Amino acid sequence: MNLNGKNILITGGTGSFGNKFVEIVLKKYRCKKLIVFSRDELKQYEMARVFNAAPMRYFIGDVRDAERLHRAFEGVDIVVHAAALKQVPAAEYNPFEAVKTNVMGAQNVIDAAIDCGVKKVIALSTDKAVNPINLYGATKLCSDKLFVAGNSYTGKSRTIFSVVRYGNVVGSRGSVVPLFQEQKKKGVITITDKRMTRFWITLEQGVEFVLKCLDIKQGGEIFVPKIPSMSIIDLAKSIAPNCRIKVTGIRPGEKIHEVLVPKDEARQVLEYKDMFVIQPNFPWWGRSRLAGGKGVDADFEYTSDNNKHWLTSKDLKKMTGGCL
């Protein structure tokens, strides 16, 4: 999508995704304004020292604060919603706070976007939102449902909402890769279950996929990229081949394998070369709204253990720029 001359806002903009999004957008486009909306004053200060180009704006605010969102969204063309409480153990221990940010925050973003006439909104989701067994996943499932349903509330504003859903981001804050790199120094890598598999994507791939979806979205879709899987034990061996591996037991809220497209949604799925698109269950939605794509089998599902694309140690090093 051509973002030249556009006013763009990203919630949770000081996070790993936000930093990479800003970096790529500033390199590729000449947008009018690029607004980072987040709660953390220090992170904004640090980010502003790196990204201080003319289009940059930094707004202190919380997605829980509907009034602040309305003020921030004035004159904005595109919103990328990346703000979330995403640490599974923290969400389990602080469930009310997770609901306030991930669910009520999503509703606030939707309301503000409609009221302010934002043209396009895309929300970031996670594989943990599919068949959730932890509170974080449940709040993101609810958030996804709200953004898809938001298209039915737009009225005259014509705001269109869509969702991007992908797996673990290699090297993002709080992910297992930095943890393994830290544990490597001590000679022992801890994993919870040897059978565990996960989907993997880089920050750059995630940002580029979001930009692509902004271009083709019609409103109501959940976009799922085709990305590789890797077992956690292979990941650990790739990062620290000479370290001892200690199995600690699966934690509350963890799955052995993750799901990006569940079997129950197969009838709504269109497959493309590099992605799946889950279409909404709206009476007014027709397959003609999206060009190309083909249906999948009725029993199709896309899981981290039935994936056709698996990462090798060499692939992982390439994904991380050889830093592992």
The H or E element that residue 203 is part of is helix 203-216
- Pairing of β 259-261 and β 275-278: unpaired
**Helical packing angle, 105-116 and 135-149, nearest 10°:** 20
CA atoms within 13 A on the CB side of 73: 28
Q: What are phi and psi of 165, to 5 degrees?
A: -120, 120
- The pair of structure tokens assigned to 9 is 């806002």
With b for 16 or more beta-carbon neighbours within 10 A and e for fewer, the 11-50 pattern comes to bbbbbbbbbbbbebbbeebebebbbbbbbeeebbeebeee
DSSP for 168-196?
Answer: EETT-TT-HHHHHHHHHTTTEEEES-TT-
- 6 among known catalytic residues: no
Q: Which amino acid is at 310?
A: W
Q: Among the options 86, 128, 140, 217, which is catalytic?
A: 128
Residues with catalytic roles:
128
